Structure 1
Amino acid sequence: MTDISPAHIHSIRHFNRFYTRQAGVLSTYSAGNLSLTDARVLYELAHRPGTVASDLAAVTGLDHGYLSRILKRFESSGWLNRETSPKDGRQVLLNLTPAGRQAFVPLEEEANANAAAVLRTMGDSDRKRLVDAMQEIERLLDPKPLPRSTTATAPTAVTAAAPVAPVTIVLRDVRPGDLGWVVQAHAEAYTREYGWDNTFEALVAEIVAQFVRTFDSSGERGWIAEIDGERVGSIFLVRGSDPTTAKIRLLLVTPAARGSGLGNRLVTECIEFARSKGYEKIELWTHSCLTAARAMYAKRGFALVESDEYEGFGQKLVWENWEMTL
């Protein structure tokens, strides 16, 4: 295999930035009393009749407990029906009721209207070129995509594209009140998912306090991610072990935004900011159990440079230091 051309890397990064802006146009919608996460689950239920909760959690990237609470709300509203699978009595199939399908209609119509508004700006030949190009990109990047939905039970016609819930994510600077949320969200997520005790919450609080006490806007920054005004993620870039090194701290993506690419987007913001400030290297500290984050770091060019076993946060863990040369 030949070396990857820097020009090709630049082109992909440029396209990613361009399409992120375009996706905001396509994904903006009003969900009434539904949160964006609720709308996402409703979308998948409409396009995947007879699904099971484990498959729904996998496709949405939501925590099982978080998803279970959403499904219970839908059931209480008369939108969801559960029935035992006739093929496997251990499985419970999830289906929208007529009321649930009716609740989904405005979301589908608005998503279709947003896409149609973009296509109306083009002539027939350009529309075809655009759709062909999108399908080719999808084929190249995902040679084994999820099966496309063709069910007729959805209240409106299902498009040929694989279902993607409409989500608009906004990144902004840290504001008063955000740092308390960062501590709380980290503590809740790591206790729920990994069983870590409150000494981890204390560590996060110390990191946040240090960020405030020594903050230097010339080379440090924090970001908060929001969906529909709700905080769903964070990341901070601070000065590292020497003047030429930056350090990533407190990366978090809540269940409401998982599967959206937010983690990668937050790391990209840090990398680009570090480059703009003249840093030569970025370092970060993580743990071996954080498999999704570690995979993302590796794909972005970070390398594991040091690790060791220890007991912390009420667990036996392996800490890791990762670095990336800019």
Structure 2
Amino acid sequence: MTEKFQAFVVSEKDGQVHATLVDQNFDSLSTKGVIVKVAYSSLNFKDALATQAKTGVVRSYPLTLGIDLAGTVVKSNDPRFVKGDEVLATGYGLGVSSPGGLSEYQSIAADWLVPLPAGLTLKESMIYGTAGFTAALAVAKIHEHIAKDEQVLVSGASGGVGSIAIALLHKLGYKKIVAVSRKNTATKWLKELGATEIVTPDTLIPETIRPLAKQQFSGIIDTIGGELLAALLPQLHYEGVAALCGNASGIKLNTTVLPFILRGIQVFGIDSVNQPMAMRQKIWNLLASDWKITSQLKVQEAPLKDVETITQSLLTGTHEGRSIISM
């Protein structure tokens, strides 16, 4: 193993946050975890937020960023993993309170590692990454409650979670998938993923949001939050379901109890960070087999040195699809 390796590290000084590539010594890795030679990580909106001051993502500085990774075990003191095992990790404290996946090597708690499922390569696992895992959890809720001939809306459709959710819904046989996107350039590829209709957010947000509106959607996968979600909940059908997994437009939700008590709607919060291991393995096995859609996704592969540029595109809203980082 090399004595030095590179990592994308965020630091703070005098209230200013800086994120850049840093050379690190191999002996800086914790000996308490399983040491993984990282092959791929992916970039998510949360990673981009972590490069900014006062976003609440990073618990302490300095910290290696990256909320997911896939790679090969090079050293382990845990009997569950041996040298040569291929593994992946998402969530928990990665890139938030513990060093993350945007690094050529990383030490990971054994309890956080998922053995790479048969049917997936390391690269494919990060084409999904945190976004794919989150999307699959949300789709599982829709699949559990909503019939395939009913209309399902996906907000933030051109982003990682939204685009993967559309592809998964289509794979599962949903026939009426409404994609919400402001980007005209995304129309063609969203339809190729399985969207049957593309709408812009402004068409869904009335001048005055009423407690109850015309019932248009049986299911919603929302990656945006904020005003759009407030406008969508009154448009759910009787006993409709919303799966919430993002807050790109804000954390506040101005709504009433009426859709809940007069139409019996259900809202599910989708947390991909602290999912129990049994659910993690179930979802990853589905993504490797019956739900596999990696070949359909829009993917950009880039080296570690390009992380800063890609995070800026995530912050400005110009990013589309998935970006994976090869080490």
Please identify which structure carries the higher helix content: 1
More contact order relative to length (CA 8 Å, sep ≥ 6): 2
TM-score range, shorter chain: under 0.3
The alignment's TM-score, normalised by the length of structure 1, stands at 0.23
The alignment's TM-score, normalised by the length of structure 2, stands at 0.23
Q: Give the greater-gyration-radius structure (CA).
A: 1
